[in-house]
A and B are shown apart, each in its own frame.
Chain A
């Protein structure tokens, strides 16, 4: 019973490098989300996908792109990493709008 699986768990990048964070869910959920969590800031929504084939910006989308590869998978890409993107990134999924979200264990990303 995996739920939401994120890879990698840890990553260190140099400024300017690119990287894709992977997320997969096995709950047949329609909606998926990417958040970042910073000390004292709580969770902030980066992008979400209401359903397969759609993606929309959240509160802090700048510097990120996403792909909803299929119903199970939702990836987050940093094209040119910046130190301000050092954070813990969480993927989540839900059955639909306003439904409880289920989170992965996060990717801890450091950009030097």
Chain B
């Protein structure tokens, strides 16, 4: 199925560094969702965005809904080892129009 373009595909960073990743689409969406998936587990919802321009934080995580409604950004500040995992975006234009980002694999070096 259709996937959202997500970058970077993978990142190696030092503990304490900030991280930024983004998702882009050719379509306009009304919702952007960010998830994290740890190995062997299911995706966990991190942040939900509902309005263009919206900036929402969840602890060290901050996400923004792009004003064009075609993109979204996720930032992680002061990374720690437990931030390791795969992050992906998701949005839903309806039950059969769910699309997922290709994922960003984050590795944190202690």
Contacts and interface: CB of A to CB of B under 8 A. Distances in A.
Interface of A: 4, 31, 42-45, 48, 50, 56, 58-59, 90, 97-106
A45 B96 contact: yes
A105 B101 CA distance: 19
Contact of B103 (A42, A97, A101): A42
Interface in B1-56: 1, 3, 30-31, 33, 35, 40-45, 48
Contact of B95 (A31, A43, A44, A105): A31
30 contacts: A42-B1, A42-B3, A42-B100, A42-B101, A42-B103, A43-B43, A43-B100, A44-B1, A45-B96, A45-B98, A48-B96, A50-B95, A56-B96, A90-B43, A97-B95, A98-B92, A100-B31, A100-B48, A101-B45, A101-B90, A101-B92, A101-B98, A102-B45, A103-B43, A103-B44, A104-B42, A105-B40, A105-B42, A106-B40, A106-B41
Given A42-B3, A42-B102, A100-B33, A58 B96 contact: yes
B93 interface: yes
B9 to A, nearest CB: 11
A98 B43 contact: no
